[in-house]
Amino acid sequence: MTYLNKFKEYLNEMDDEIEQEIEEMSVTGGMDGGEGPVKTPKAFSDGSKKSKKKQKDNATASTGFDVVNDSLYMKMMKSLNSTGQLNETSYQDYKKDLTATPQQKVNRGIAEVNKMLGLMEKIVNNNLRLKTEMGVQSNHFWKSTGTRFAKINERMTRIANRLKELSQ
């Protein structure tokens, strides 16, 4: 018997074992380890108040911990829209948020500004490189782009002044 034949015979034996294994498998048998609630509590939710209450009860019962509401800061961070911009939050709500001290709020805010400036810098650097490599001339910009440059410069100057004020 050649090696190729032995190999084919081995593959056939393995194929039989795999088929036997698959026939014995259960799709839902091990879903939750046999006890307790389903591990994906939101899988069957319809978004109603009753469903949300049931989710909260299941989460509390299965873990033994209470569900904690997000701080306003975390809600703001989660509320980034598809363009990465924060959705509006009123200053009063931000100020009244008791989940963080004012120092924590300022520190987190500055960290977030730093992160956003990093993203802005990356965008500017990529576009500057593209402009240089592709030989795009400034006179090829749209009229609105020139206006945006001026507005961005004004805003950056205002922000720089406010940051100086904040850091003192």
* Per-residue model confidence as pLDDT tens for the chain (168 residues): 577 777 777 777 777 666 666 655 555 555 555 555 556 656 666 777 887 778 777 777 767 777 666 665 566 666 555 555 555 567 887 788 788 888 988 898 899 889 989 999 999 999 889 888 988 888 888 888 889 989 999 999 999 999 999 999
The torsion region of residue 45 among left (phi > 0), alpha (psi -120 to 50) and beta comes to: beta
**Neighbour-count burial for 118-156, b at 16+ CB within 10 Å, e otherwise:** eeeeeeeeeeeeeeeeeeeeeeeeeeeeeeeeeeeeeee
Asked whether the whole model's pTM tops 0.75, one would answer no
Burial class (CB in 10 A: 0-12, 13-18, 19+), 76: buried
